[in-house]
Structure 1
C-alpha cells in the first residue's frame, strides 16, 4: 500500500485530502506544522509527501530543502501562491511538482499517479551510463556530475536538465520538451521556468562564462553542441 504524508495546517483541507486518499486505497498520516512534518518525513518511509508552502513553525520551502538533503522521496507542494517566483522557489528547494489551491481532487490524484509512474520507471529501469561533453562527465547510475575531477553541486532539477542536454548532444531541445520531460506533462510549471534553470546550470558549469556549454537557439530552446 502506498504511504502518503500530508503536511498541511488547514484542518478542513487536510481532513478532506486524508479521506479522499483513504477512499482511493492510500495509507495516510497528517501533520499540521512544518516541524512535526519534517520529523515524520525524516524518520519514516513515504511514497509521496504532500507539502503545504505556508506552515507554522517551519515553512514548506525549508521543510522541503531539509528533506532533500537526505532523501529523494517525491514531494508535491500545495499552496495558494501561484506566481512564477513562488513556483521556482518551491521547485528549486527540491519539490517534484506544484499544485495551486483550490484544486479538484481528481487533479491531485492524477498528479500522484504521475509521480508514482516516474518513481516506478526509475526503480525498474536503472541506467548504467556515463555521459561526456567537453570536460563535463555525468555518472548516471550514481547521479554524479563532474567538471574535470571536481564534483558539481547541482539540485535535482539542474541535474535532470544537464542529463537531458548531455543525452541529446547536437539536438535542439525546445522549452516545451524540456518542461514535459523534467516536470511531466501534468505539471503547472510554465516554460519560462526553463530559462531560469538554464541560467542556474550555466553558472554552475562555468561561473566565469569562459566556456559555452549550453547554446541558446533564439525563439526555440537550447542545445549542447
Structure 2
C-alpha cells in the first residue's frame, strides 16, 4: 500500500515540487497551503507523514503541529526558513520528529521521509519481551507504552524510539550518532544536536531532572545512557 504524505507549504511552487518528488518515490502526496486546511485535511484523511512549514498564514506550523498531535501520531517534518535555534526547538517541542532548514534539497526530504517510514510503527512479530524497569520508570517495548510511578506518559513515536534504544542497552553510553542511526536511520544527515532536543523533551515528560537524573544520564564527552535499573 502507498503511504500518504501531506505537504503543508504556502509557497505553492515549492509545495508542488516537493509533492512531485514524493510521488516519484511511490508516495501519495497531497498539498495544502494554510494551517486551517492542514488540520482539516489531516482529520479527513489521516496521513503517514506531514511535511509542515513553520511560517504559514492563519495557523502557523507550531499550532498546526500542536492540534494534529491531539488526534494523530503521524510523523512530522518541520520546514523553517529561520536559522535561529529557537524556532527549531519550539517546533520540536510540540511533537515534530525532524526538521529541515530552507533552502533544502527535495531529494534529502524524500530520503528523510523514506527513513521515517522504515521505522516500526507498533508491536512487531519479534519474540515477546518483558517490560524494562528503571526504578519508577516502566518501558513496554511490545505495547509501546511508558509509565512513571504507574501513570502513563504520552510520548511521540520518535521520543519512544529514542527511549527504547537507550533502555535496550542500559549499560551502554550512546553517542549522538549511534542514537541517530538507531532511531532516524544510518542515512540521516543533519545537525546531530537534534538528539539533545528530544532528550530534553523526554526528560521533561518523565519528570527527570538533568541536574540529578534518575533515568537518562549525560555521559560527558560522549552522549547518553540509562541510569542504573
Q: Could you state the TM-score of these two structures normalised by the residue count of structure 2?
A: 0.82
Partner of 1:133: 134
Residues 143 and 12 from structure 1, CA distance in 2 versus in 1: closer, same or farther, beyond 3 angstroms?
A: same
Q: How far did 1:211 drift?
A: 6.1
Between the aligned partners of 2:66 and 2:213, the Cα distance in structure 1 is 30
Q: Quick check: 1:122 aligned with 2:135?
A: no
The 5 A counterparts of 1:60-139 are: 60-118=61-119, 121-122=120-121, 125=124, 128-129=128-129, 130-139=131-140
Structure 1 counterpart of 2:221, from 202, 219, 223: 219
Contact 1:7-1:51 at 8 Å conserved across structures: yes
Residues 151 and 124 from structure 1, CA distance in 2 versus in 1: closer, same or farther, beyond 3 angstroms?
A: closer
Contact 1:52-1:77 at 8 Å conserved across structures: yes
Q: Could you state the TM-score of these two structures normalised by the residue count of structure 1?
A: 0.84
Residues 123 and 206 from structure 1, CA distance in 2 versus in 1: closer, same or farther, beyond 3 angstroms?
A: closer
CA distances 1:43-62 after superposition (whole Å, capped 9, x unpaired): 21323221111101101111
Q: Quick check: 1:145 aligned with 2:146?
A: yes
SS at match of 1:202: helix
SS at match of 1:58: coil
Q: How far did 1:177 drift?
A: 1.6
Unmatched segments (≥5 aa) in structure 1? none
Residues 154 and 111 from structure 1, CA distance in 2 versus in 1: closer, same or farther, beyond 3 angstroms?
A: closer
Unmatched segments (≥5 aa) in structure 2? none
SS at match of 2:78: strand
Residues 28 and 184 from structure 1, CA distance in 2 versus in 1: closer, same or farther, beyond 3 angstroms?
A: same
Between the aligned partners of 1:160 and 1:6, the Cα distance in structure 2 is 24
